[in-house]
Chain A
Amino acid sequence: MSYCVNCGVELDKTCSVCPLCNTKVINPNQPVDTVSPKPYPVDKGYVDSGIRKETAILMAVCLAATAVVCGLLNLFFITFSHWSFYVIGTCIVLWIFCLPIFFPTKAVFRITLLLDGLGIAMYFGIIAWLHPGNGWYTAIALPLIILGTLAVFFFAISMGHPRSSILSQAVILVAEIGIYSVCVELLTRRYYAVPMALSWSAIVLTCAIIIDVTLVTILLRSRLREEVRRRMHI
C-alpha cells in the first residue's frame, strides 16, 4: 500500500497521484497497479434526451402547418397582398433558431449559427422583395448580416477552443466590436454616397484597440495573468 507523503492518507493501489494534493506516488516497493480495475468505472453517462426529438417533431409540424395554412389562405381567400410570406419566413426563422434546443451538440450549435444568419438574411430578403427600395438590402443589410454572422461564428469557435479563457474571449469580442462598427460606418457612408471616412467608429475602434492591447499584455505576462485570474477568480 502507498501513502501520500504530504497528506498521510493511504491511496488506492491504482492511484498514480494523490487525489487531494496531486503528489505523485513513487513507491519502489509497490509500483502503481495499472492492471487491476479502478474503484470507479471509466464510462461516462449522458442524459437521455429522447423527448427533445418528439418536441422537435411537434414544433416542426406546428410551424409547417402555420406556414402552409397561411400560404393557402393568402392564395385563395385573403389575396390583397403577399402577407403570408412574412408568416412563412417567420416560421422558417423560428425553426432554425430552435435547432440548438432540440439537438444540443456543439457541432450543431455552430452550424445553426450560420443557418441563423442565413435565416435572417432570407427574412430581410422577403421584406426587400415585397418593398423594393433603393437597394438597401444588397448595399447595407446583406453585408452587415454576413459580417455579424461571421463575427458570432468565430466567437463561438473561440469559446469552444480548449485553451480559450475569459480573457482571450474578451479580446476577440472587443476586436470584433471595433471592426464591426467600422464596417457599419463605411457601408452606411457608401450607401448614402458620402465621402469614405471614419468618425464615430474611429472612437469605438480606438477604445477597442486600447482594451485589446491591455488584455493581450495581461495574457502574455503569466504573473499578471495569474494575478488577474486570482483576484477576479476567472
Chain B
Amino acid sequence: MKTINKTIKHTPKKQHKTWYKLDLSANVYPTLQRRNFSNVFRLSVVLKEEIDPDTLQRAVDLTLPRFPAFKVALHKGIFWRYLEPNDHPGPFVMPDIINPCMPMLFKSNNRYLIRIYYYRCRISLEVFHSLSDGSGALKLLKTITAVYLRLKGHEISNTCGVLDINEPPRPEEMEDAYIKYASSRVKRPRSQGKAYRIRGHREPFYTLNIIHGLLSVQEVLQKARSYHVTLTEYLNAVLLYALLEKQKADHVFREHPVALALPVNLRNIFPSDTLRNFIAMVYPSVDPRMGDYTFEEIITHVHNYMRFYINDKFLNADITTNASTQQSPLIRIVPLFVKDIVVKQFYIRVQDKQSTAGLTNLGVIDVPEEMREFVDYFDVLMGQPFSLRTNCAVGSFGDTLSINFTSTIIETDVERFFFRKLVQEGLHVKIETNRDMNRSEF
C-alpha cells in the first residue's frame, strides 16, 4: 500500500505537520465547485425526543478528534489539492434550514467541510464529498448520536458502526482504498454513451426541493421478493420506469436511453475499513428505442445488469481506470488549474451526460441495540445535482424506508411517476416536502 499520510519535518522544534492526499473520487469534487454548487450530501437521524443543541455541540466536540478524516481543511497545491488537519474552533451546530446542502466554500465555516444542524428531533450532518462517502459519514453520524445519547445519561455500546471515541484513530480508516485494490490488468472505458436529460425550469439560487417518501421496509421487501429481486433492484426499476414515463410525457424529438448513476459501496466487495470515499459508479439503463418496456421487463433487465456488473472483477477494472489516470506521470506534472479545466469539461461533456438521475441506497442502517429505542429513522439526501436533474437517496432503519428526492427544478414529474407507481404496486407511501406549495409557478 502506498503511503497516504505524509509527515513533513520543518525544523526539529516545530511539530510534525500531517497532510493527506485526496483519494481518487475526492479529487474530482472540488473541480466541480461553483458559486452555486458544491458536492455535498446530508445524512440525518430522527430521534424520538427534541434535540438539545448544547449537548449536541458537546457530543460533536468529543467525537470529532476520533475522526481525523472529517476534521480537515482543503488546500490547493501546485499539482493536486490536499487535506490538512483543521485546528480552528468548530464546527458549530446550527439550527436547520429549509435549503440543505448549500454550497460549501472551502474558506468559509472556519475551513470545515462538514456542517451539523438540528431541527426538532433531527440531527443532520452535511459532508463535502471529498472527505467521505455515505458509509464513512454514517459512522460519524452514528458516533455523534451515540455520544449525544450518552451525555443524556443513556448507556450505548461501541458496536454497529459506533466508534470508540477514547481510542486513537486507526491508520486503515484513513487509507486510500482505491489505490490498495486497483489491480486489474485491463481498464474499462469511461463513457457509457449519452442518456436522456430531464428538462425543467431551474429554481432560483439557494433552493433545494425535497420530496420525502416514507414506506414500510417489510412491505417493499415483500413486493421486491415477489419479483425475485432485491430491494435496491426493485427501487432502481421503479425509478427507471418513472424516468421512461417522464421522457414519454416530454414528447422529445429524439429518444435517448434512460440511465441511473448508482454508487456502489466497495466495502461490501473489498475488505476495507476506510472512512474516506470508496465507491464506484454503475449505470443501469433501459433503451426505449428498442421498444416499449413493461415494468416486469425493466425489473428483469436491472436484475441481470446488477448481477453482471456488481462483482469484484468489473468494479476492480473500473477503479483501475481511475487509479491509472491519477498515477500517470504525465498527468501528475500538469498544473492544478489545467487539471481543473480538463476534469470539469470532461465531467460536463461526458460524465454528467451519461445518466438521467442519481440513485443511492445506503442500505439497512443498524445501530447498537441500546440505541434503537431512541431512534425513529435515518434519512439520506444526495444534495444538489450538478445539472438539471433529480437525485434519489434511499436508506432504511427498522421498518422505515426513507426515500428522498432532491432537485433544483420546479417540476415534480419524476417524483410523481415514481411514488404513483409505488402506490399502484399496492404500497403505502407517506409524503413530506420542504417545497413552498403556494407559489404561482405550480
Residues of A within 8 A of B429 (CB): 8-10
Digitize A36-78: 1 where CB-to-B-CB distance is under 8 Å, 0 elsewhere.
0101111111111111000000000000000000000000000
Chain A contact residues, majority secondary structure: loop
**A22-B412 Cα distance, complex, nearest whole Å:** 10
Report the minimum CB–CB distance from B423 to chain A (whole Å).
4
Whether B415 contacts A20 by the Cβ 8 Å rule is yes
Whether B416 contacts A7 by the Cβ 8 Å rule is yes
Digitize A1-29: 1 where CB-to-B-CB distance is under 8 Å, 0 elsewhere.
00010011111100111111110000000
Closest residue of A by beta carbon distance from B423? A8
Digitize B211-225: 1 where CB-to-A-CB distance is under 8 Å, 0 elsewhere.
111000000000000
Report the minimum CB–CB distance from B389 to chain A (whole Å).
15
Question: Is B119 interfacial (CB-CB < 8 Å)?
Answer: yes
Report the minimum CB–CB distance from B190 to chain A (whole Å).
29
Question: Is A233 interfacial (CB-CB < 8 Å)?
Answer: yes
Whether A20 contacts B102 by the Cβ 8 Å rule is no
Residues of A within 8 A of B212 (CB): 39
Partner of A9, one of B98, B107, B419: B419
**A37-B119 Cα distance, complex, nearest whole Å:** 10
Report the minimum CB–CB distance from A78 to chain B (whole Å).
35
Whether A9 contacts B412 by the Cβ 8 Å rule is no
Residues of B within 8 A of A43 (CB): 95-98
Known contacts: A22-B442, A43-B95, A46-B206. The answer to whether A10 contacts B430 by CB under 8 A is: yes
Whether B430 contacts A47 by the Cβ 8 Å rule is no
Partner of B420, one of A8, A16, A48: A8
Whether A19 contacts B412 by the Cβ 8 Å rule is yes
**A188-B49 Cα distance, complex, nearest whole Å:** 76
Residues of A within 8 A of B109 (CB): 48
Report the minimum CB–CB distance from A162 to chain B (whole Å).
9
**A9-B433 Cα distance, complex, nearest whole Å:** 13
Whether A41 contacts B96 by the Cβ 8 Å rule is yes
- In this complex, how many residues of chain A approach chain B with their Cβ under 8 Å: the count is 30
Question: Is B313 interfacial (CB-CB < 8 Å)?
Answer: no
Known contacts: A20-B419, A41-B96, A43-B98. The answer to whether A50 contacts B431 by CB under 8 A is: no
Residues of B within 8 A of A41 (CB): 95-98, 119
Residues of B within 8 A of A7 (CB): 416, 419-420, 423
Whether A9 contacts B431 by the Cβ 8 Å rule is yes
Q: Which of A15, A19, A41 has the most CB of B within 10 A?
A: A19
| Total number of residue pairs linking A and B with CB closer than 8 Å | 104
Residues of A within 8 A of B107 (CB): 51
Whether B213 contacts A9 by the Cβ 8 Å rule is yes
Residues of B within 8 A of A10 (CB): 428-431
Report the minimum CB–CB distance from B108 to chain A (whole Å).
4
**A157-B28 Cα distance, complex, nearest whole Å:** 38
**A17-B96 Cα distance, complex, nearest whole Å:** 24
Report the minimum CB–CB distance from B403 to chain A (whole Å).
11
Known contacts: A42-B98, A49-B105. The answer to whether A15 contacts B416 by CB under 8 A is: no
Residues of A within 8 A of B116 (CB): none
**A54-B16 Cα distance, complex, nearest whole Å:** 29
**A233-B424 Cα distance, complex, nearest whole Å:** 31
Known contacts: A41-B95, A46-B206. The answer to whether A9 contacts B105 by CB under 8 A is: no
Whether B105 contacts A22 by the Cβ 8 Å rule is no
Question: Is B192 interfacial (CB-CB < 8 Å)?
Answer: no
Residues of A within 8 A of B183 (CB): none
**A37-B438 Cα distance, complex, nearest whole Å:** 17
Cβ < 8 Å to A, chain B residues 409-435: 412, 415-416, 419-420, 423-424, 428-435
Question: Is B263 interfacial (CB-CB < 8 Å)?
Answer: no
**A16-B120 Cα distance, complex, nearest whole Å:** 21
Whether B430 contacts A19 by the Cβ 8 Å rule is no
Question: Is B103 interfacial (CB-CB < 8 Å)?
Answer: yes
**A227-B1 Cα distance, complex, nearest whole Å:** 60
Residues of A within 8 A of B102 (CB): 45-47
**A48-B431 Cα distance, complex, nearest whole Å:** 32
Whether A40 contacts B95 by the Cβ 8 Å rule is no
Residues of A within 8 A of B99 (CB): 44-45
Q: Which of B199, B206, B423, B432 has the most CB of A within 10 A?
A: B432
Known contacts: A9-B419, A40-B98, A51-B107. The answer to whether A45 contacts B428 by CB under 8 A is: no
Report the minimum CB–CB distance from B163 to chain A (whole Å).
29
Known contacts: A20-B415, A39-B212, A41-B96. The answer to whether A12 contacts B105 by CB under 8 A is: no
**A37-B442 Cα distance, complex, nearest whole Å:** 23
Whether A12 contacts B206 by the Cβ 8 Å rule is no
**A16-B434 Cα distance, complex, nearest whole Å:** 12
Residues of A within 8 A of B103 (CB): 47
Partner of B437, one of A15, A40, A44, A50: A15
**A43-B434 Cα distance, complex, nearest whole Å:** 11
Residues of B within 8 A of A39 (CB): 212, 432-434
Contacts A/B (CB < 8 Å), 23 sampled: A4-B431, A7-B420, A8-B424, A9-B429, A10-B430, A15-B431, A17-B437, A17-B442, A19-B412, A19-B435, A20-B415, A39-B212, A39-B433, A40-B432, A40-B433, A43-B96, A43-B97, A44-B206, A45-B98, A45-B99, A45-B102, A47-B104, A233-B199
Given contacts A44-B99, A45-B206, 9 further A-B contacts (CB under 8 A): A7-B419, A9-B419, A11-B430, A18-B431, A19-B412, A20-B431, A44-B97, A47-B104, A51-B105
